[in-house]
Amino acid sequence: MKPVVIASANGNRFKNGGDMTCVERAFTLMTQGSDVLDALIAGVNIVELDPGETSVGYGGLPNADGIVQLDSSCMHGPTKRAGGVAALEGVRTPSLVAQAVMEQTSAHLLAGNGAQSFARAHGFKIEKDLNSDESRRLWLEWKKRIGPSHELDPERRAEIAHRVMLEMIAEGLVDPIHTVSMPEARSAA
């Protein structure tokens, strides 16, 4: 049986200056006998560490306040264990933190400051700002286009923010892909 790796488009595109994409790295490691989850996360790390990719990791687009907050989850099929992080700040590879949550705790999800504290306690480097020059530039452009932040109606504010993001996507400033996922690795006949 031959391994199959399925990924979103950015898993087939970004290489972070290397010669392998996320999918190629995961596939190579799996065919060399690595644990499937370890192989997939090693592949995802390529995308997470690529400053040219604005959907995840270092270079990911920030929230409305200009802060890059990252989410990741993983599941290990053979052991039926899962772990995840949400709104994690300061760690370029949230997939590795999610894996550590799965392996080191009985929790399934850590979020915000708790996720960051866990990461720090487990030796992950915490950086003050994960914005790349490009993600910061795009955020400033988005802020300029949404106008003054005095809009009090949350629905109206969300509507304006969504419209501006769609405009920026249509203009090619922002890639419509906003996640990397490797939802499935399986053997095929």
How much of the chain is helix, strand and coil, in % rounded to 5? 40, 15, 40
Chain segment 101-122, per-residue pLDDT in tens: 999 999 999 999 999 999 999 9
**Per-residue pLDDT at 15:** 83
Q: Is the dihedral of CA 7, 10, 14, 16 positive or negative?
A: negative
Asked if pLDDT for residue 187 goes beyond 50, the answer is no
Output the pTM of the full model: 0.85
Chain segment 62-105, per-residue pLDDT in tens: 988 899 999 999 999 889 999 999 999 999 999 999 999 999 99
Chain segment 164-180, per-residue pLDDT in tens: 888 998 998 887 765 44
Q: Which residue has the higher pLDDT, 26 or 15?
A: 26
3-state secondary structure at position 65: coil
Q: How far apart are CA 66 and CA 48, in angstroms?
A: 18
Q: How far apart are CA 83 and CA 177, in angstroms?
A: 23
**Per-residue pLDDT at 99:** 97
Closest CA to 124 of 155, 84, 162, 95: 95
Q: How far apart are CA 185 and CA 48, in angstroms?
A: 19
Q: Contact, 71 vs 97, CB < 8 A?
A: no
Asked if pLDDT for residue 189 goes beyond 60, the answer is no
Q: Contact, 22 vs 11, CB < 8 A?
A: yes
Angle at alpha carbon of residue 6, lines to 62 and 87, rounded to 5° = 25
Closest CA to 149 of 63, 62, 65, 69: 65
